[in-house]
Amino acid sequence: MAGVRVYELARDLGVPSKNLIEELRNQGIEVKSHMSTMDEETAGLVLDLYRPQETTIVAPPPPIESPAMSSHILVQPTPHPVEFPPPIPQPEPTAMIVRLPEALTVKDFADTLHLKTKDVLMQLMSLGTVASINTVIGLDLAHTVAQKLGKDVLLIS
């Protein structure tokens, strides 16, 4: 007799195995793990429990038109446009002026600009420079890396 594993049933239903195991235990079906099997009948009942029930939408009956109403034209009111407040202007970002020493290590540069060292190293690699955190970089390379990382800085030695 073939059985259905809990994880297969969970996959078919699109729910995590953990949630399905919990629901099965709440329903009185004892399972130990996601590898437990259950018979086809129980699996069918679980599928019926989880699948959404079909809903029937009933259309409202058509309005009854009396002879007195047929001569009047029904006009739908037009909705008023919603007015939103004007957007708040954002201040223009200004360049940050940073004074750096001539001998600048990657770690010092990242710390000064509040960047992650690994992000600076990744940008240096993308520019073709293999470096470590103790490698000394020049101001022009530091400026290029800062721009690539979204920092608008003016580096002064």
In a domain, 81, yes or no: no
Q: What tokens does 33 get?
A: 């793990």
CB 137 within 8 A of CB 130: no
Q: Answer yes or no: are the C-beta atoms of 141 and 127 closer than 8 Å.
A: yes
State residue 106's pLDDT score.
Answer: 92
Does 76 reside within a domain? no
Q: Which amino acid is at 40?
A: E
Domain annotation covers residue 130: yes
Structural domain that includes position 120: 96-156
C-alpha distances (whole Å) from 91 to each of 62, 88, 94, 99 are 57, 9, 9, 24
Pairing of strands 96-99, 153-156: parallel
Query: Are the C-beta atoms of residues 56 and 45 closer than 8 Å to each other?
Result: no
- Whole-number mean pLDDT of the chain? 77
Residue 138 has pLDDT above 80, yes or no: yes
Q: Is 104 inside any structural domain?
A: yes
CA dihedral for 18, 20, 23, 24, sign (positive or negative): negative
pLDDT at 1 over 50: no
Is residue 70 one of the residues assigned to a domain? Answer: no
Contact 156, 96 (CB under 8 A): no
The answer to whether residue 46 is domain-embedded is yes
SS3 38: strand
Q: Count the domains in the chain.
A: 2
Q: What is the C-alpha to C-alpha distance for residues 1 and 12, in angstroms, rounded to an integer?
A: 20
Position 135 in a domain: yes
Alpha helices in the chain (DSSP H): 6-13, 17-26, 40-50, 106-112, 117-126, 139-148
56 lies in some domain = no
Global pTM value: 0.40
33 vs 92 pLDDT, higher one: 33
